[in-house]
Amino acid sequence: MAFKTMMVAALAALPAVFASPIELESRAGCKYNGGWQNFPSMSQWLPWTTVFGRYQQDMVNAGSTWDDVGRINVAISNAAATIGVDERVILAIILQESHGYVGVQCTGNNDCGLMQCEGCPSFQGRNGLPQSDTSAMINGGTQHFKGNLENWGNQWAESSIYPALREYNSGSVNSGDLSTAAGGFGVPCYVADVAGRMLGDVF
């Protein structure tokens, strides 16, 4: 699902970039609710190598090869260094959007690639991709998220990261409850799920 026109501010304002997950999960409730203060602190996130190691098999189970997984690792590290987004956030978005399958289909209106971002390259139904293709998907999605982060102060802090994740998924942001997909678009538990992945939750 793609969202072309939305408002994002305290309750709504105009987003620069956004993306949507390949499947809309429906669960009874979210693990975290409310404002960014109620979500896990960055000090609780697992180290990058631990988080990545925990999800490698899941990415293979989703359809990527082990070589693909290695190239995802390289692409995330490079995007983090050049664009300025933490590796753990990039990986968590990938897992939430595509489960790490490099051949994931596009959804909505041209939301494509590992991070399901609007206008990103797609390699539907394929795996064993070269590094350049894997990096193109991850660079595109990371640039999109960086735009969201800039809308929320561009700080490497929970107060910027969690609202930016809400915007990436649904466009509009209710800053008082980041587990609300304001405007009815997106997955209510998206931010809570991404936060959980950075703690090592596997689901």
Find the domain containing 65 and state its range: 36-198
pLDDT confidence bin for 1, thresholds 50/70/90: very low
Q: Is 41 domain-assigned?
A: yes
pLDDT value of residue 181: 83
Average pLDDT rounded to a whole number, residues 119-132? 97
Radius of gyration of the chain (CA): 15
Q: Is 31 domain-assigned?
A: no
Q: Is 29 domain-assigned?
A: no
Residues 29 and 49: their CA atoms lie apart, in Å, by 30
Calculate the CA 121 to chain-centre distance. 16
Residues 167 and 173: their CA atoms lie apart, in Å, by 6
- Total structural domains within the chain: 1
Mean pLDDT of the chain: 88
Between the CA of residue 96 and those of 7, 9, 119, 177, 181, what are the distances in Å?
Answer: 23, 24, 18, 20, 16
pLDDT above 70 coverage of the chain, percent = 86
Q: Is 20 domain-assigned?
A: no
Reported as a single tens digit per residue, the pLDDT across 19-78 is 444 444 434 589 999 999 999 999 999 999 999 999 999 999 999 999 999 999 999 999
Whether 94 has a pLDDT exceeding 80, the answer reads yes
Residues 33 and 143: their CA atoms lie apart, in Å, by 27
Exposed e or buried b per residue across 55-66, where buried means at least 16 C-beta atoms within 10 angstroms of its C-beta: bbebbbebbbee
153 or 22: which leads in pLDDT: 153
Residues 3 and 141: their CA atoms lie apart, in Å, by 15
What's the CATH number where 173 sits?
1.10.530.10
